[in-house]
Amino acid sequence: MAQVEIKFPDDSTKPFDVGTTGLEIAKSISPRLAKVALAIEINGQVCDLGHAVTQDASVRIFTFDDVEGRQVFWHSCSHIMAQAVQELFPGTKLAIGPSIEEGWYYDFDVEKPFSPEDLGKIEKRMKEIIAENAPFRCESMNRDDAIKHYRDKSETYKVELIEDLKDETVSFYYHSRFEDLCLGPHVPSTGVVKAFKLISSSGAYWRGDEHRPMLQRIYGVAYPKKNLLDDYLKRLEEAKKRDHRVIGKQLELFHFSDEVGAGLVLWMPRGARIRQIIEDYWRQQHLDNDYDIVFTPHIAKQELWDQSGHTGFYAENMYKPIDIDGRKFQLKPMNCPFHMQMYKSRLWSYRDLPLRWAELGTVYRYERPGVLHGLMRVRGFTQDDAHHFVARDRIDEELSWTLDFCIHMLRSFGFDSYDIYLSTRPEKAIGDDADWDKAEGALRTALKKAGLPFEVDPGEGVFYGPKIDIKIKDSIGRSWQCSTIQFDFSLPERFDLHYTDRDGERRRPYMVHRALLGSIERFFGVLIEHYAGNFPLWLAPVQVAVLPISDDLNDYCGRVVKRLKEAGLRAEIDDRSEKIGAKIRAAEIMKTPYMFVVGAREAEADSVSVRKHGTGDIGVKTIDEALASLQAEVASKGLE
């Protein structure tokens, strides 16, 4: 029999008979691998395990440990779920059912939205389908036949999907009594799914377009072993415990009130203290790095926003103007127009540039009710905004510098893992191609120079310029959009900005718009979730709880608090007539980093018994020792 040569990822090769399937190849490596194999990559293409190899090829076997394997696994689950739904709710039309980062979803067009009980029924039917251990099988169909096939079944979404496909033939996957238009690949059979759970259902627009029908989406997760599902559910629980809305309440950091209005943050004293520390640090860093800090008003004449173009392209996020003496004034959704006006207040020379103006500017934006979310998405927030006015020949180094400064700031707060995106020219854009090319090139160069890996988001730039978005990753791997560095061709043009260059010519400056933390509100929310409320010492609202064991030690403890405060530390005494255990508990619950327990022994020796949050008793220290070590910890910001 003819043979083919199969090459494995370790570069070893082995001959096989022509027509050998992926599963057989896996078996030849080890029976164990064959048991957990989900798919095979043949010359770069992920295929079913049943796929036969007909020519020399390099292959990789995918299991649940590989992203590709998981995708295949979850995608197969979406088919199983779709079968269950169609059997339980006859007449349901299928839309799409892809795998996602953790699990899958499938969108259905059903008469009535799914209830939680429905999900239970669907799970039950899915278990039956899994128990069948029905094999997945693939068949091709001529494109026109497939369209006719789905027309006859009134599967209008599938018809639309096929109509958008260019290929002459399309593939269908079959298992049990179910068929679905699908590129595949799939797991060998339904039985490989050992544990799954349907997480939630919700509305979702067909193809994400709010002008098209609303479908019902069901999300699910699944694993090849039950303990993996349990782990996932545990992780969900953990994430829930980190929820900044929950912690914000427990630690009395911030508050929302119906009476005040949705999406409007009330910063409670403890949260405000943290904010102040963040802002103080931010200010100092800016002053130390050639920024000037400015302040601008909260409202301005509508004409200013006409000139900036916001009333045109940003109208849907702006509140209605208010009437003042017959003139319309607009609550600000952005700070930029003010900085433009400030730039125009005098003439600038190339010697003055780059000019860097930073402002903690509070802006108000209309957000649709359904999108508000704790501190992460609000209607009034403070941007750590800045605008750089840059001479045309200095743009490369300015962007590079900005990026470095940005990363430096993020690192200071304990974030050293990022997802970075470079967004390029969208279809509708102002400015000429040469400018765009130059700007995109400059951003790209800055990223490369900084050695930061990034992805290009083609066409995702703002109409006024390309941008770099930086998402920070928190301690449990979720990413959050914070920093943005944006090129702006529009505003210097609209406000007719210029500077006098060294040759005496008036030139238009380039403008960079940047936010590092993004919104102080959101950044605070991210910090809370990142640290699960256990703030590093420099940020903790109360750094030390001084706990007298009995009332007669209150005076001594009062003096300890005073000394700590004089040394710049935030300390509080708990002088309630409670037992020490209760005081410790109260401080632990508030996640206070240090507790100084004080009894008669400590008071006599000018010392305290130091207890660390989450760790416990770490021994007796003199006040001076304890103070010095805390000050060192504050200075280090808890970073290595």
Partner RNA sequence: GCCGACGUAACUCAGUUGGUAGAGUAGCUGAUUUGUAAUCAGCCUGUCCUCGGUUCGAUUCCGGGCGUCGGCUCCA
- Decide whether 172 or 366 has the Cβ nearer to RNA: 366
The DSSP letter of residue 465 is B
| Nearest Cα residue to 77 out of 224, 226, 234 | 224
Catalytic residue among 75, 244, 365, 425: 365
Q: Which residues bind RNA (CB under 7 A)?
A: 113, 115, 200-205, 208-210, 214, 216-217, 245, 249, 256, 258, 261-263, 365, 367-374, 377-379, 381, 383, 469, 481-482, 484, 515, 518-519, 521-522, 549-552, 577-582, 584-585, 588-589, 595, 597, 599-602, 609, 611, 614, 616-617, 620
Asked if residue 149 lies in contact with residue 141, where contact means CB atoms within 8 angstroms, the answer is yes
Q: Which residues contact 219 (CB under 8 A, 6 or more apart)?
A: 100, 103, 104, 105, 198, 199, 200, 201, 202
Catalytic residue among 513, 522, 570, 591: 513
**CB of residue 458 to RNA, shortest distance in Å:** 15
- Decide whether 61 or 470 has the Cβ nearer to RNA: 470
Instruction: Give yes or no: 365 in active site.
Output: yes
**CB of residue 482 to RNA, shortest distance in Å:** 5
- Decide whether 203 or 568 has the Cβ nearer to RNA: 203
**CB of residue 620 to RNA, shortest distance in Å:** 7
Alpha carbon separation from 307 to 184, 327, 347, 494, 577 (Å, rounded): 52, 16, 20, 6, 64
**CB of residue 123 to RNA, shortest distance in Å:** 17
Catalytic residue among 216, 330, 383, 543: 383
Catalytic residue among 75, 387, 425, 514: 387
- Decide whether 201 or 296 has the Cβ nearer to RNA: 201
Which residues lie across from 20 on neighbouring strands? 53
- What is the full DSSP assignment across 163-230? HT---SEEEEEEETTEEEE------SBGGG--EEEEEEEEEEEGGG-TTS-EEEEEEEEEESSHHHHH
**CB of residue 157 to RNA, shortest distance in Å:** 14
- At residue 189, φ and ψ (nearest 5 deg) are -155, 165
Residue type, 349: S
Catalytic residue among 180, 384, 385, 474: 385
Alpha-carbon gap, residue 358 to 515, rounded angstroms? 9
Catalytic residue among 47, 77, 182, 336: 336
Asked if residue 384 lies in contact with residue 520, where contact means CB atoms within 8 angstroms, the answer is yes
- Decide whether 224 or 263 has the Cβ nearer to RNA: 263
- Decide whether 1 or 371 has the Cβ nearer to RNA: 371
**CB of residue 386 to RNA, shortest distance in Å:** 13
Alpha carbon separation from 290 to 348, 366, 486, 501, 513 (Å, rounded): 17, 34, 19, 21, 16
Is beta strand 266-267 parallel, antiparallel or unpaired with respect to 292-293?
Answer: unpaired
- Decide whether 14 or 576 has the Cβ nearer to RNA: 576
For residue 208, count other CB atoms closer than 10 A to its CB: 7
CA 518 centroid distance within chain:
13
- At residue 187, φ and ψ (nearest 5 deg) are -70, 165
Q: Which residues contact 354 (CB under 8 A, 6 or more apart)?
A: 388, 389, 390, 391, 394, 398
**CB of residue 529 to RNA, shortest distance in Å:** 11
**CB of residue 105 to RNA, shortest distance in Å:** 8
- Decide whether 9 or 113 has the Cβ nearer to RNA: 113
Which residues lie across from 444 on neighbouring strands? none
The two three-digit tokens of residue 193, written as one number: 């799914």
Instruction: Give yes or no: 307 in active site.
Output: no
- At residue 335, φ and ψ (nearest 5 deg) are -100, -15
Alpha carbon separation from 68 to 5, 38, 213, 476 (Å, rounded): 24, 9, 31, 22
- Decide whether 114 or 348 has the Cβ nearer to RNA: 114
Instruction: Give yes or no: 385 in active site.
Output: yes
Instruction: Give yes or no: 396 in active site.
Output: no
Alpha-carbon gap, residue 95 to 205, rounded angstroms? 10
Alpha-carbon gap, residue 36 to 64, rounded angstroms? 7
**CB of residue 185 to RNA, shortest distance in Å:** 25
Instruction: Give yes or no: 377 in active site.
Output: no
Catalytic residue among 467, 514, 522, 570: 467
- Decide whether 71 or 519 has the Cβ nearer to RNA: 519
In the numeric block, the tokens 């009062």 are attached to: 558
**CB of residue 269 to RNA, shortest distance in Å:** 15
What amino acid positions are annotated as catalytic residues? 336, 365, 383, 385, 387, 467, 513
